[in-house]
Amino acid sequence: MNMFNRICQVAMLDRNGFVLSGAVGHISMAVNPFIYALRYEVFRRYLKQMLNRSSVTSTSGNTA
C-alpha cells in the first residue's frame, strides 16, 4: 500500500467520524426533552404550561 492510499483512508475516517459525531449530537439534542419529560414531573408541568401559553398567544392574533 502506498502513502497516498493511506492518507486517503485517514481523511475518510476523519470525515466519517465528524459526520457521525454531528449526527449523535443532533439526536441527543432532539431526544433530551423527551427524556426529561418522562423522568421529571416538574419538567412535564412547566412544559405543558409553556405549550399551552404558546398555543393561546398564537391563536389570539385577532384583536379587532
Instruction: Report how many domains make up the chain.
Output: 1
DSSP letter, residue 60? -
Give the chain's end-to-end CA distance (angstroms, integer): 76
Q: Assess if residue 64 is contained within a domain.
A: no
Averaged in consecutive runs of 10 residues, what is the pLDDT profile of the chain (64 residues)? 64 80 92 86 87 67 54
Range of the domain at 33: 3-53
Q: Assess if residue 60 is contained within a domain.
A: no
**In this structure, are residues 22 and 12 in contact, taking their beta carbons and an 8 Å threshold?**
no
Q: Assess if residue 28 is contained within a domain.
A: yes
Q: Assess if residue 21 is contained within a domain.
A: yes
